[in-house]
Structure 1
Amino acid sequence: MDDIDEEMLTRMASNATISVVICVFTCLMRIRSRRKSITYQRKVKNKEKIDMRARHISRVFSGYNESCRAYVRMRPRAFHNLVSIMRYTGLLKDGRVVKVEEQLLMFLNILGHKTKNRIVRSHFIRSGETVSKYVNKCLEVVGRLRGRYMKQAPNEVSPEIATNPLYYPYFKDCIGMIDGTHIDAMLPASLVARFRGRKGVTQNVLAACTPNKLFSYVLAGWEGSANDYRVLQDALSRPQPRGLRVYDGKYYLCDAGYTTMHGFISPYRGVRYHLNEHKGRPINNRQELFNLRHSSLRSKIESTFGVLKNRFKILSAKPHYPFPTQVDIVIACTILHNYIAIEDSGDELLHEDNHIEEDEDEIANEGEEGVVDFTQTMTQREEKFSRNEWRAKRDQIAIEMWEDYCAKYRGGDTTEIGIEWIAKKDQIAIEMWEDYCAKWRGGDTTEIGM
């Protein structure tokens, strides 16, 4: 009897063990099956994402004739050349899942269309962290191309001046034009007052460009409330290669917001200047002629600003980035402008007539001689003498220009209308200014913006 009970217990234990094993095995198989199903679904979804991303990138380059230029603001050849430069120099590398092409597509689309991060996420089916990571990386490496694509103006006559009889030989010593522009800025409430000027909350950007519409120097980050002349002084006070380079005997053309001084020639004040002010009206004297041609040549920098802002719409927005990043964005856009102008001179945007309304470290060129050192301070007497010297240089250019103009179009008649009143007005202003400075400024006759 005991043997039978023991056998039954053994059999029951065995059956129970088998049942448990079967249950465990069944559960494991179900879990495995579920995992396979989840993995399969995940693979299917990942494949769908990859396919959708590939189709999106394909549409950028093959959607229609101008799809690439519309999306990244440059033509396919220029874009692929930029990709090659980034890979060859090692500035950008293919990530485990994000290639260099995709990194630049995201970055350039944001610059060109002020696209939000969430929109780029939906285009490329990436996380917000991934988009932000690669956009910041691209912004950093584009800044490193500054020494390659933004070189200071050379100490030689520009072909655009040398081949134009309206400018040559009068502006043979002109190496470029300077001007300031305002870019919308987003700042903490504690800094808004400092950056608020007559154009709102902005950063004041100083730029110099050559006659072929290439930026040769850019200084960004100044408060929008600062006047252009103050920003120029900062650019000149910086040691090379960070400062604006001016060669001895050469000069930049600037508007009336600056002053005629060593290396800079502004137009005559109180004389019509802008091109639309000369339409349908005869030229009466040398100062009007000088201002007309000065405006015609200097308008190239206004056109360059127009092309820049038309191409990169982020410059017309209020980007929600830290202010140092906003400054880097301005620099990156000017570098990319130069890159496109150099690598793809046939780009249509470069040749559009765009004007705006007025109101890593750079590599120094070796062997440049005659660079003016503005870091050395001058006495008031020396500064006044220098400014008078350059005003006399401007007068000499105007006289030569007027004599040639009269010989060609007025039968040699150099009679001027209105010039005596301009001279009389200037003399009155000088006397008034000297008396004012003697009474209220301790004799300091330094002028800003003349």
Structure 2
Amino acid sequence: MENVDEEQLKRMCANTAVSAVVTIITCILRMRAKRKRISSCTKEEKIQKIYCREAHFKRVLEGYSDSCRSYIRMRPSAFFKLAAVMKENGLLEDSRHVQVEEQLAMFLSIVGHKTKNRIIRTEFIRSGETVSRYFNKVLQAMNGLRDRYMKQAPNEVPAEIANNPNYFPYFKDCIGMIDGTHVDAVLPSNLVARFRGRKGVTQNVLAACTPNKLFTYVLAGWGGAANDYRILQDALSRPQPYGLRVYDGKYYLCDAGYTTMPDFISPYRGVRYHLKEHTGRTPKNRKELFNLRHSSLRSKIECTFGILKNRFKILSAKPNYPFPTQVDIVLACTVLHNFIAIEDPDDDILNENIDIDEDNGEVTNDDDSSVVDYTQTRTQREEDERNEWKELRDQIAWAMWVDYCAKYNGGNTMESGLA
């Protein structure tokens, strides 16, 4: 009796498996037939689609003097250079129906204007699935350009500091600036609380840049409620090449949301800092002068953020993509920013006057011998070590003040307004 039941059970399982396979095959065939019916068209219709697509692309590139920059957020020379770099490095290739230039144009229109899939589908006469597929392909390809166009700050004096008497020799050991910016995010309801901060639901992005407005490091994906200093500690704790690179004796300038500590110098607290606060007023003491020049130099990163968001409107909207894709979009946009700055330094958007949003709330370098290693387990840095860097800040401020007074105050170094 048991043998009979076992045989029946085996037959039932086999029949069920066969039915499942038949059902799956039937569904696949029906989907293919439906897709074929949707995409099928006469030869004349196909020719008309190709003609309309080519005409659209020609209007983008040649329609009027500003059409290319307006549509894909860069000039034709930079666009074709980007396509060539993608092909040369095997990051993108022409498919049977979609060339690399069209793949890039669709992607750039989406990130440049936060264009909906259905709009791109209409403009390029492609299916929504095709638009989505190539958007993701180009997004992945952008990661392949990161090592080429986003290099960590070199251990040398930036030309913008060396050639400016307001900065040199005072900031001769500064290799860049760091700051955070918020990018709109869309998340599942169970994660919203972690990403909701004073600027809404956002991801908090840490970045470092040089005075010539090139990003040297970007860490995206932290929740908008996260503290800037905590994100910096995460960046420092990551092993190279994934962590923020620092060097012995060198430092980044940071705002008051951070603290003065080894390798990072923030402004004096409780002293006028933002450039608008100094308008129409002259410094009365070393701290005000230091904060003025610190703010002037560090504002380069705020200007860089402004250019980035002005070019890629998707960063100022709520993108309807999975969160990992939203993080990749931020990284891709920063890589594209660097690409344009390097390949087309006369780009109009790059050289526009950007209103800096001052937040009043709180060549390859292969020599790593002097890179500071933050990955080893260590106790909290001693207070006297931080005091050494505060003393360095005081020395810089005094040297500035002496030279300033010699030039404008007849050598009188008398100060006022110091607490």
Match status 1:347 vs 2:354: no
Report the residue type matching 1:134 in the other structure. Answer: Y
Match status 1:171 vs 2:171: yes
- Whole-angstrom distance in 1 between the partners of 2:57 and 2:95: 17
| Mapping for residues 22-421 of structure 1, pairs under 5 Å | 42-354=42-354, 355-358=356-359, 359=361, 365-380=365-380, 382-419=381-418, 421=419
- Whole-angstrom distance in 2 between the partners of 1:114 and 1:383: 47
- Whole-angstrom distance in 2 between the partners of 1:279 and 1:307: 23
- Residues 84-127 of structure 1: per-residue CA shift (max 9 Å, x gap): 11111111110101011100000000010000000000000000
Q: CA deviation at 1:351?
A: 1.2
Q: CA deviation at 1:261?
A: 0.2
CA contact (8 A) 1:241 1:364 kept: no
- Whole-angstrom distance in 2 between the partners of 1:103 and 1:357: 37
- Whole-angstrom distance in 1 between the partners of 2:78 and 2:219: 26
Name structure 1 gaps, 5 residues minimum: 1-38, 422-450
- Whole-angstrom distance in 2 between the partners of 1:414 and 1:378: 42
CA contact (8 A) 1:60 1:67 kept: yes
- Whole-angstrom distance in 2 between the partners of 1:392 and 1:41: 76
- Residues 225-272 of structure 1: per-residue CA shift (max 9 Å, x gap): 001001000000001110000000000000000000000000000000
Q: CA deviation at 1:364?
A: 8.3
Q: CA deviation at 1:146?
A: 0.5
- Whole-angstrom distance in 1 between the partners of 2:225 and 2:48: 51
Q: 1:40 to 1:322 in 2, by over 3 A?
A: closer
- Whole-angstrom distance in 2 between the partners of 1:276 and 1:102: 44
CA contact (8 A) 1:402 1:414 kept: yes
- Whole-angstrom distance in 1 between the partners of 2:264 and 2:40: 70
SS at match of 2:191: helix
- The match for 2:19 is none
Q: 1:387 to 1:62 in 2, by over 3 A?
A: same
Q: CA deviation at 1:373?
A: 1.2
- Residues 202-245 of structure 1: per-residue CA shift (max 9 Å, x gap): 00000000010000000000000001001000000001110000
Q: 1:234 to 1:40 in 2, by over 3 A?
A: closer
TM-score normalized with structure 2 length: 0.88
- Whole-angstrom distance in 1 between the partners of 2:162 and 2:41: 68
Report the residue type matching 2:357 in the other structure. Answer: I
- The match for 2:8 is none
Q: CA deviation at 1:385?
A: 1.7
Report the residue type matching 1:238 in the other structure. Answer: R
Report the residue type matching 2:390 in the other structure. Answer: R
Q: CA RMSD in A?
A: 1.5
CA contact (8 A) 1:151 1:216 kept: yes
Report the residue type matching 1:284 in the other structure. Answer: K
SS at match of 1:218: strand
Q: CA deviation at 1:376?
A: 2.8
CA contact (8 A) 1:305 1:356 kept: no
SS at match of 2:42: helix
Q: CA deviation at 1:282?
A: 2.3
- Whole-angstrom distance in 2 between the partners of 1:103 and 1:375: 40
CA contact (8 A) 1:71 1:109 kept: yes
Report the residue type matching 2:58 in the other structure. Answer: S
- Whole-angstrom distance in 2 between the partners of 1:40 and 1:415: 84
- Whole-angstrom distance in 2 between the partners of 1:346 and 1:313: 21
How many residues are paired up? 378
CA contact (8 A) 2:274 2:358 kept: no
CA contact (8 A) 1:240 1:364 kept: no
- Whole-angstrom distance in 1 between the partners of 2:376 and 2:42: 67
SS at match of 2:167: coil
Name structure 2 gaps, 5 residues minimum: 1-38
SS at match of 1:190: coil
SS at match of 1:221: strand
Report the residue type matching 2:149 in the other structure. Answer: Y
Report the residue type matching 2:409 in the other structure. Answer: R
Q: Name the larger-Rg structure.
A: 1
Q: CA deviation at 1:369?
A: 2.1
